[in-house]
Amino acid sequence: MSDSSELSSEKPVFQISTWLLVLPLLVLVVVFTLLRGPSLRKQPSPGIGKAAPQIDLIRLGPDASFEEFQRLAERRLTLMHFWGTWCGPCKVEYPELDEVVRKFKSVPGFGFISVSCEGSSSETIEGLASKTAEFLQSGNMEETAYADPKGVTRRSLAERLELSSIFYPTSILIGGDGKIVGVWLGYTPESVPEIEAQIRQRLQDH
């Protein structure tokens, strides 16, 4: 009787002792994650300094056709943006980005390539063009957009960014030397202001 009582009284002590050891470790892990998270997200992208992705795009519209984009090398700065009408964060960011693009539209040497991406493998060029035009027109936004029907440009960019596939939305800045100078993966409230600031700085510096 006494033996059973002693065992039952010792068990909670063991459990409490275990938690006293584990709890501080859990707290340290949480604190470390919170402190390190922002700094890790601020690490430079591995794509910075690499050549621009291979561009194999088709212009969306009634007369859809492939374009060579030879002018890319002649520009001082090009903003390339990958997005989709099916992507919630993309639809939030795009109007903000459109306002920025309008500010620099008349600046010599600046270009914008908007790549509207399909939501599924069954998406047709006609369907993609219709959805893209409808979204852009709904916000009175610039209506020139392109598609990457073979996925060549996206695979090329993912390779340069050392990713298995790109995020949506994704924006990159390409300098006059044809190299990537800025990368923004996904959408945050700070993304578009950062893009605008870098465009403004680089255009002033050249």
Write the pLDDT tens digit of every residue in 160-173: 999 999 999 999 99
For 75-102, how does the pLDDT look when each residue is reduced to its tens digit (9 = 90+)? 789 999 999 999 999 999 999 999 999 9
Give the model's pLDDT for residue 62.
65
SS3 category, 32: helix
Q: Provide the CB-side half-sphere exposure for 109 (13 A, CA).
A: 14
pLDDT score, position 33: 34
Tokens standing for residue 3: 């033996």
This prediction has a pTM of 0.76
What pLDDT sits at residue 109?
Answer: 86
182 forms beta bridges with 173
In whole angstroms, what is the distance from residue 166 CA to residue 145 CA? 18
Question: How many residues does this entry show for the chain?
Answer: 206
Element (H, E) at 181: strand 180-185
Identify whether the C-beta of residue 53 lies closer than 8 Å to the C-beta of residue 157: yes
Q: Among candidates 77, 91, 83, which has minimal Cα distance to 201?
A: 77
Can you name the residues that pair with 51 across neighbouring β-strands? 179
Cα–chain center distance at 181: 14
The burial class, CB within 10 Å (0-12 / 13-18 / 19+), for 117 is: buried
- Mean pLDDT score of the chain, rounded to an integer? 81
Phi, then psi, of 115 in degrees rounded to 5 = -110, 105
pLDDT tens-place string over residues 190-203: 999 999 999 999 99
Question: Lowest-confidence range among 27-36, 55-64, 139-148, 197-206?
Answer: 27-36
